[in-house]
Chains A and B, each alone.
Chain A
Amino acid sequence: MKKLVALLLALTLCLGCTAAFAESKPNVKIGFITLHDENSTYDLNFIKAAREACTALGMVENEDFFIVSGVEESEDCYEKAADLADRGCNIVFADSFGHEDYMIQAAKEFPEVQFCHATGTRAHTEGLDNFHNAFASIYEGRFLGGVAAGLKLNQLIEEGKITADQAKLGYIGAFTYAEVISGYTSFFLGARSVCPTATMEVTFTGSWYDPTKEQEGAIKLIQDNCVVISEHADSMGAPSECENNNIPFVFYNGSAADACPNTYIVASRINWAPYFEYIINCVNNGEAIATDWTGTIDTNSVVLAELNEQAAAPGTAEAIAEVEAKLASGELKVFDTATFTVNGEALTSYMADVDTDPAYTPDTEVIADGYFHESEFRSAPYFDVQIDGITLLDTAI
Chain B
Amino acid sequence: MANSTTKEPLIHITKRGLLPWYGAWGIRGGAILLALIFCALVTTVVTGQNPLSVYVTIFNASFSTQRRTWVLVQNIAMLLSVSLALIPAFKMKFWNLGGEGQMLAGGLATAACMICLKDVFPNWAIILCMIVGSIAAGALWGFIPAFFKAKFNTNETLFTLMMNYVATQLVAFFIIIWEVPKGAGKIGIINQQTQIGWLPVIGNYKYLLNVIVVAVLCVAMYIYLGYSKHGYEISVVGESERTAKYVGIKVSRVIIRTMLLSGAICGLTGMLLVGGTDHTLTTSITGGRGFTAVMVAWLAKFNPIWMILTSFLLVFLQRGASEISTVFGLNQSYGDILTGIILFFIVGSEFFIQYKINFRHAAGKEEAHV
* Chain A positions near chain B (C-beta within 8 angstroms): 37-38, 61-62, 66-70, 72-75, 79, 82-83, 86, 97-98, 100-102, 104-105, 121, 175-178, 180, 206-207, 353, 356, 358, 360, 397
Contacts and interface: CB of A to CB of B under 8 A. Distances in A.
Interface in B140-172: none
B185 A175 contact: yes
Contact of A177 (B71, B184, B280): B184
Nearest to A208: B185
Contacts of A70: 331-332
11 contacts: A75-B277, A75-B279, A75-B280, A86-B65, A101-B280, A177-B181, A177-B182, A178-B181, A207-B185, A360-B182, A397-B176
A101 B188 contact: yes
Contacts of A207: 185
B192 interface: yes
B326 A38 contact: no
A101 B181 CA distance: 12
A32 to B, nearest CB: 11
Q: Which of A66, A67, A70, A207 has the most CB of B within 10 A?
A: A70
B182 A75 contact: no
Nearest to A204: B183
A61 B68 contact: no
A38 B331 contact: yes
A67 B329 contact: yes
Contacts of A82: 67
B65 A83 contact: yes
Contacts of B185: 98, 175, 206-207
Contacts of B332: 37, 69-70
Interface string B248-280: 000000000000000000000000000001111
B47 interface: no
Interface of B: 65, 67-68, 71, 176, 180-186, 188-189, 192, 277-280, 282, 284-285, 326-327, 329, 331-333
B16 to A, nearest CB: 41
A110 to B, nearest CB: 11
Nearest to B278: A75
Nearest to B282: A74
B284 A83 contact: no
Contacts of A360: 181-182
A230 to B, nearest CB: 19
A206 B179 CA distance: 12
Contact of B192 (A68, A101, A121, A206): A101
B68 A83 contact: yes
B212 to A, nearest CB: 19
Contact of B184 (A38, A98, A353, A397): A98
Contacts of B67: 79, 82-83, 86
A288 B334 CA distance: 38
A105 B181 contact: no
A67 B328 CA distance: 11
A117 to B, nearest CB: 13
Contacts of A79: 67, 71
A252 B7 CA distance: 67
Contacts of B180: 356, 358
A140 B329 CA distance: 34
B331 A180 contact: no
A49 to B, nearest CB: 16
B367 to A, nearest CB: 56
Contacts of A397: 176
Contacts of B285: 74
A121 B367 CA distance: 78
Contacts of B71: 79
Contact of A100 (B188, B282, B329, B331): B188
A353 B182 CA distance: 11
Nearest to B193: A126
A62 B280 contact: no
A68 B71 CA distance: 17
